[in-house]
Amino acid sequence: MTNRIAQIAVALSSGAVFGFGLSLSGMLNPARVQGFLDVFGVWDPSLAFVLGGAVAVAMIGVALMRRMARPMLDKSFHLPSATKVDSRLVIGSAIFGVGWGMAGFCPGPALSALSLGLMPVVVFVISMVVGMLVHDRLIRGRSA
């Protein structure tokens, strides 16, 4: 029970650090994200530094994880079990990329930007959740 409450507190703080990091990095702004993706236009390399910094620190976390038998607040690590590169992975990611490029929003920044109270962000988040549910409805019984 105490672990359960601690897990919720960790999830809340982890989300807040993530959202603050996105805000500081400039990646809450779809214009900056599209500026990075516009490699043939006026290229803004910021996102490469964001991703580089994030992956470098996450790698330290992964290295520590590999020395631990279990996480501090749970019985085991919950890691993705799939290892095969299949067409669903490639096509799904390709579809995701088209949407990401069109609006400059991916799930993290869109949810985080909800607190600014801008209508297009609300519309994006609702559409995104609908897209997820449509997928899971159509492809029921397959791993999601």
Partner 1 sequence: MSFPYWPSLLGGMLIGLSAAMLLLLNGRIAGISGIVGRLAHGAQVPTNAAFVIGLALGPMLYLALFAHWPVVTITVSTPIIVIAGLLVGFGSRMGAGCTSGHGVLGLARLSRRSIVAVASFLTTAVVTVTLMRVVGL
Q: How many residues bind partner 1 (CB under 8 A)?
A: 115
Alpha carbon distance 59, 77 (integer Å): 16
Closest separation in Å from C-beta 37 to partner 1: 4
Is residue 1 part of the contact set for partner 1 (CB under 8 A)?
no
Is residue 46 part of the contact set for partner 1 (CB under 8 A)?
yes
Rule CB under 8 A: which of 62-91 touch partner 1? 62, 64-65, 68, 70-74, 76-80, 82-85, 88-91
Rule CB under 8 A: which of 107-136 touch partner 1? 107-108, 110-116, 118, 120-121, 123-136
Both tokens of 135, joined, read: 């997928």
143 DSSP 8-state letter? -
CA distance to 29, 78, 92, 108, 111, per residue, from 49 (Å): 15, 28, 25, 17, 22
Closest separation in Å from C-beta 141 to partner 1: 14
The radius of gyration of the chain's CA atoms, rounded to the nearest angstrom, is 18
Alpha carbon distance 56, 124 (integer Å): 30
47 and 32 in contact (C-beta within 8 Å)?
yes
Closest separation in Å from C-beta 88 to partner 1: 6
Rule CB under 8 A: which of 21-40 touch partner 1? 21-31, 34, 37-40
Is residue 56 part of the contact set for partner 1 (CB under 8 A)?
yes
Alpha carbon distance 60, 80 (integer Å): 19
- Interface residue with partner 1 among 1, 105, 140, 141 (CB under 8 A) is 105
